[in-house]
Amino acid sequence: MEALFKEIATQYNGNYSVTESSWYNGHAYLPLYSYSLTFSHKEWDFKIRHEFRSSEFTKPKAVNLGSFADRHLFDINVSKSNTDFPNFEIVTPSFFAKLIGWGRTRNFKVKSSNTSLIRYCSNNPQLVAVCEYVNLDAEFSPQFIGVNKSRNYNLTIRYATQQKRVDLLKNLLDFLTQIPSIKI
């Protein structure tokens, strides 16, 4: 993940930093690594924070250790001033919705009053690839919320995974860096 953050910082002339501390899981203090990346692209400001919480049960061959697995937490913020970009939300099926079959035909739904934005997001291959991870990782249930308040736009994306999933972040960044070019 560190290599990807460095690559993005170089590509967009951004700022990248890493801090190391610890977190208490109820039994022991474990390593906590925080990666921060900020950059601007076509007058939009991007802030990405990745928090890696190492587990006391980290094993290279273990795929799903449930509550004992590592945690990769992401908080992404994209903002722009003086824009009329519309509000929107992308909803993915929750754990219980998956049980009753909501996510079988569609991995996400776009909510917005702007039909052009709904059509664009629904057909965007990078966003479709991101939302396909809903079926691969039980904990992956991203939150996408874009709000325009007094012409100041803020898009927030939060998600957690048990594994690094560099390709997931790459697809998400490809989608996000296309946002300034969307014709609404």
In this predicted structure, what is the pLDDT of residue 48?
Answer: 97
Residue with tokens 């934005």: 117
In this predicted structure, what is the pLDDT of residue 2?
Answer: 86
Phi then psi for residue 148, to 5 deg, are -110, 115
- 110: Cα within 13 Å, side-chain hemisphere: 20
For residue 61, pLDDT over 70 is answered with no
Kindly tell me the number of DSSP H helices and DSSP E strands found in the chain: 5, 8
Alpha carbon distance 73, 162 (integer Å): 9
Overall average pLDDT of the 130-140 stretch: 80
Alpha carbon distance 131, 107 (integer Å): 6
Q: Which domain holds residue 156?
A: 2-181
Overall average pLDDT of the 38-43 stretch: 96
**Residue closest to 11 by CA, chosen among 39, 35, 36, 49:** 39
181, 117 in Cβ contact below 8 A? no
In this predicted structure, what is the pLDDT of residue 125?
Answer: 94
Alpha carbon distance 89, 144 (integer Å): 5
For residue 64, pLDDT over 60 is answered with no
In this predicted structure, what is the pLDDT of residue 141?
Answer: 85
**Over the stretch 78-105, which tens digit does the pLDDT of each residue have?**
999 999 999 999 998 776 766 676 555 6
132, 117 in Cβ contact below 8 A? no
Alpha carbon distance 53, 34 (integer Å): 9
**Over the stretch 96-133, which tens digit does the pLDDT of each residue have?**
766 676 555 668 899 999 999 999 999 999 999 998 88
For residue 75, pLDDT over 70 is answered with yes
**Over the stretch 17-31, which tens digit does the pLDDT of each residue have?**
999 888 776 777 778
Domain count, the chain: 1
- In this prediction the pTM is 0.85
